[in-house]
Amino acid sequence: MIPWRDLPAPLAALRELALDLRWTWSHEADELWARVDDVLWRGTRNPWTVLDDVSTQRLAELAADAGFVAHLDRLVVARRAYLTDRSWFAEERLGARLGGVAWFSMEFGLGEALPLYAGGLGVLAGDFLKAASDLGLPVIGIGLLYQEGYFRQMIDAEGRQFEAFPYNDPSSMPIEPVREAGGGWLRIPVELPGRVLQLRVWRVIVGRTRLYLLDSNDPVNGPVDRGIAGKLYGGGGEMRMMQEIVLGIGGWRLVEALHPEIEVCHLNEGHAAFAVLERARAFAKRHGLSFSEALWATRAGNVFTTHTPVAAGFDRYPLDALTRYVQAWAAGEPTFAELQQLGVTEGPISDGALNMAYLAARRAFLSFGVSRLHGAVSRRIFQPLYPRWPEHEVPFGHITNGVHAPTWDSAEADAIWTRACGKERWRHEPEDMGERCEMIEDQELWALRGAAREALVRSVRTRLGVHLSGRGHPPEVVAVSETVLDPNVLTLGFARRFTAYKRPDLLLSDPARLARLLCDETRPAQLVLAGKAHPDDEAGKRMIQEWIRFAQDPRYRRRVVFLEDYDISLAQELVRGVDVWINTPRRPWEACGTSGMKVLVNGGLNLSTLDGWWEEAYRPDLGWAIGDGKVAESADQDSRDAEELYAVLEREAAPTFYDRDASGIPRAWVARMRRSMTDLTAKYGASRMVREYLDKAYLPAARALHERVADGGAGAKAMAAWSGRLKNAWPNIHIGQPDYVRQADGWEVSVPVYLGEIAPADVRMEIYGEPLSGFAPEVIALSHDGAITGAVGAYFWRGRIPGARPADDYTARVVPSHAGVRTPAEIALIHWQR
């Protein structure tokens, strides 16, 4: 951690810059670290390592280099201005009451210097923290410091994937320990069966935001416990459960120790769902409430985002295995019975498992999917939590993911955007941003693509040479790497996890046709691929091997390259250099698929099935789509999609790319580039995503939390008592036969309702119109119209139903109603007319 190294006075600020991961989205910082040691920088992409390894002599030379010192000073001034200037949040949400947001995630992908991610979930979390920093939102991240993290991919000479797990040495990472006031290491205790786990805390600076990492590898812990945060998603079921206990329970205790002002707990997937239980347990103890009352109080501050498109992807733990852990941690509050009811479906427990996503959804005030289509998918797969509620009323909205454009743009793209829209464009988007983009010359945009393609070709050749040597290929094969790809040829990119639903072999389904596309004499194409298969996914590994065999065919090896060990650094090179990004998931299995968003800022175009974000973004003038927008489950659908994929490339993409005017510019291609950049880059940026979470989730959650915890939690106590009364009395509700009277403009309806011990003010009486015969679903609230004579707890409810639908389309129902309570998110009771 370089405490020993005394930097020359003119270079003292290098340590400040190296510790702030803001350099991960600064091209000028890239230039600075390359000037320190180009070989070290290109090999590590880690300023902390560069600073640690560079020789004393080289530091002395840099201290005497006036140009370098001036460069350093500019970056220091820019960083300090970034941190101190009035932020977007302070300017645009003046007076907004938000103490802070704790963003919990099992993984964070900020850069290669911190290999604490497996894929898109972690990269999204990293982009979120960066955008929150840019906008000045009071956000912190909570994660784990993995000793090995996710695997690194190796490919042998036969194209088979193998996995390596290099050690993550904290001293080589740009992180720093969090100390107590007395100077000792801050430790967070978590009770486990028969012992107390001690978690060290590390801090990562990400501009204005902070990421805190919990570390189990402390000598005070036993050998097994030290390995809890060993591999990301590694170990057996119980080890994974302990990781999630550490993240959730330890994470919330960290929040209370360092940032008690935090109001919103955001669960990025269900992995950290134990945090909501620890939050309620601590609140109950602090304020003298029951656990149930504390859940009602704190739930208002909980937000949940799911990224999973299939229920089978949710973590589930046997309840009997949890018993020992709950008893050790909770000391009776919550009871094990309460825990059962929080993480399983209503009714009898059939599978004996605690579903972490169900637990997160049940304890969240607001829940979201990550694209419009995924919001609909989430409503379907979370329906078991809301029995008898119509699917469209399951309380899951959506906020489509976005990517942090400054992380993914090239230096050349950044320069063009800066000239057109200003340096602050992603924080303070100009109102005339589209008009400014329209002013960019065609020549400039086409030159951008040419430079990006050339840079990618150089990078691919270098990487491939290293990979082929490492696979043990003879020198004559390794030498081929020096001639692969052509900087003037249409370049296609495909990079993601290799698994069946993503269909990475779809483009390889007709090798002869692919070969004709690649080797066309007048309109050739070339393809760069990358991606990992899960260590246990043998089918995914076979798809990688098939592609490598194709790429090794002497007929195509200069047109197809598979690069091993897909990571953030390689992803940046690909999204900056390819002309067309291909994505071929089976609909609707791609929750969002942010990789295609990353090409937008660089002028790349998308060719994808209508799934995830592309389902809502696609227009014919912005890119290309394949498939008919239906669920792709059959082999026939795969065949049809493959046929359309080839056809689009052969008949649309390649002809448009090569149709040049007298000056050598493909005007139609550039026009499509411009529209894609103008219409989509900001719309699918992380800044938009963060602002949307602020307005749709964080501010409403914080307001609700303030109301519930006021006066010692009086509001929460009232809600807990109200919900208890309703649950006990709900089975006694009876709805009589509605009376519909036809009117010129609809129906007059009167419904007798027998509530028993429930007061009319505690419910809402509604008429529900089913989505039939082309009609959208309707919900019409009725008014309480007095008691029914001679009956106890019985009342008439009346109202008007506009429109011409027949009365048979409508059904009466009773749902809970209480000021400030979200139904059915917080109470899923419903009673229908029989």
Within 10 angstroms of residue 631's Cβ, the number of other Cβ atoms is 12
Environment class of 287 (CB within 10 Å of its CB; exposed 0-12, middle 13-18, buried 19+): middle
d(CA 477, CA 484): 11
Report how far residue 434's alpha carbon sits from residue 420's, in angstroms, rounded to the nearest whole number: 10
Is the separation of the CB atoms in 613 and 684 below 8 Å? yes
Q: Which of 696, 687, 701, 689 is nearest to 100 (CA)?
A: 701
How confident is the model over 632-647, as pLDDT tens digits?
A: 566 688 999 999 999 9
Q: Tell me what pLDDT residue 96 has.
A: 87
DSSP assignment of 519-578 equals: H-SSS-EEEEEE----TT-HHHHHHHHHHHHHHHSTTTTTTEEEESS--HHHHHHHHHH-
pLDDT of residue 632: 55
Rounded to the nearest 10 degrees, how much is the dihedral formed by the CA atoms of 113, 117, 118, 124?
Answer: -110
Six token digits for residue 53? 């390894």
How far apart CA 577 and CA 487 sit, in angstroms, is 10
Computed on alpha carbons and rounded to an integer, the radius of gyration of the chain in Å comes to: 29
**Which ranges constitute the DSSP H helices of 697-816?**
699-729
pLDDT for 803 equals 86
Q: How remote is the C-alpha of 112 from its chain's centroid?
A: 18
What's 304-315 look like in SS3? EECCCCCHHHCC
Identify the sign of the CA torsion 213, 218, 222, 226. positive
With a cut of 50, list the residues of the chain below it in pLDDT.
1-3, 346-350
Question: How distant is the alpha carbon of residue 447 from its chain centre?
Answer: 33
Domains of the chain as residue ranges with CATH: 9-84 (no CATH), 100-401+693-710 (3.40.50.2000), 405-684 (3.40.50.2000), 733-832 (2.60.40)
Strand ranges inside 574-641, DSSP E: 580-583, 605-609, 624-626
What three-state secondary structure class fits 598? helix
H/E stretch holding 16 reads helix 13-19
C-alpha 95/C-alpha 566 separation (Å) is 44
Residue 109 CA to residue 117 CA, distance in Å, equals 5
302-305 vs 316-318, strand pairing mode: unpaired
Task: Give me the pLDDT at residue 434, please.
Answer: 81
Q: List pLDDT tens digits, range 101-123.
A: 999 999 999 999 999 999 999 99
pLDDT attached to residue 162: 94
Residue 804's Cβ-side half-sphere holds a number of Cα atoms within 13 Å equal to 2
